[in-house]
A and B are shown apart, each in its own frame.
Chain A
Amino acid sequence: MAIIEVSGVRKVYGGRAVVDGVSFAVEQGEIFGILGPNGAGKTTTVECVEGLRIPDAGSVRVAGFDPVADHDRVSKILGAQLQESELQAKLTVREALTLYAAFYPHPADWRPLAERLGLTAHLDARSGKLSGGQKQRLFIALALIGNPKVVVLDELTTGLDPRARRDTWKLIEDVRDSGVTVLLVTHFMEEAQRLCDRIAVIDGGRIAALDTPAGLIRRASGATVISFSPSAPLDECELRALPALASVEYKDDRVTLSGTDDTVNAVITLLAQRHITAHQLRVTDATLDDAFLDLTGADAS
Chain B
Amino acid sequence: MSTATATAASTAVLKTEARLFRREPASLFWVMAFPTILLVILGSIPSFRHTDASLGGIRLVDAYVPVTVLMAMILAGLQAMPPVITGYRERGILRRMSTTPVRPHALLGAQMGLHGAAALLSALLSLAVGRIAFDVVLPRQVFGYLLALVLAILAALALGALVAAIARTGKIASAIGSAVFFPMMFCAGVWVPVQAMPDTLAHIVELTPFGAAAQALNQAAAGDWPGWVHLGVLALWAVVLSGAATRWFRWE
Q: Do A and B bind each other?
A: yes
Interface residues of A (CB under 8 A from B): 50-52, 72, 75-76, 78-80, 82, 84-88, 90-91, 95, 98-100, 102-105, 142, 146
B contact face: mostly helix, strand, loop, or mixed: helix
Chain B CB count within 10 A is highest, among A52, A79, A85, for A85
CB distance from B214 to the nearest CB of A (A): 35
Stretch among B59-67, B93-101, B157-165 lining the A interface: B93-101
Residue of A nearest to B23 (CB): A90
Query: Known contacts A88-B88, A91-B20: does B96 contact A104 (CB below 8 Å)?
Result: no
Residue of A nearest to B101 (CB): A75
Docked Cα-Cα span, A91 to B88, in Å, equals 13
Residue of B nearest to A100 (CB): B100
Partner of A50, one of B16, B92, B99: B99
Query: Known contacts A99-B13, A103-B12: does B92 contact A85 (CB below 8 Å)?
Result: yes
Partner of A99, one of B2, B16, B23: B16
Partner of A95, one of B9, B16, B99: B16
A contact face: mostly helix, strand, loop, or mixed: loop
Partner of B91, one of A86, A99, A142, A146: A86
Neighbouring B residues of A85 by C-beta, 8 Å: 91-93, 95-96
Mark contacts of B60-96 with chain A using CB atoms, 8 A cut-off: 1 yes-contact digit, 0 otherwise.
0000000000000000000000000000100111011
Partner of B93, one of A72, A88, A103: A88
Residue of B nearest to A101 (CB): B12
Docked Cα-Cα span, A245 to B5, in Å, equals 62
Interface residues of B (CB under 8 A from A): 1-2, 5, 8-9, 12-13, 16, 19-20, 23-24, 88, 91-93, 95-96, 98-102
Residue of B nearest to A95 (CB): B16
Neighbouring B residues of A87 by C-beta, 8 Å: 93, 96
Partner of B92, one of A79, A84, A98: A84
Q: Please tell me if the beta carbons of A82 and B99 are within 8 angstroms of each other in the complex.
A: yes
| With A51-B99, A85-B93 already in contact, 9 other A-B pairs whose C-beta atoms are closer than 8 Å | A51-B98, A79-B99, A82-B92, A84-B92, A86-B91, A102-B8, A103-B12, A105-B2, A142-B96
Residue of B nearest to A85 (CB): B92
Q: Please tell me if the beta carbons of A72 and B1 are within 8 angstroms of each other in the complex.
A: yes
Neighbouring A residues of B91 by C-beta, 8 Å: 85-86
Neighbouring B residues of A99 by C-beta, 8 Å: 12-13, 16
CB distance from B246 to the nearest CB of A (A): 19
Query: Known contacts A82-B92, A99-B13: does B20 contact A88 (CB below 8 Å)?
Result: yes
Query: Known contacts A88-B20, A95-B16, A103-B9: does B99 contact A76 (CB below 8 Å)?
Result: no
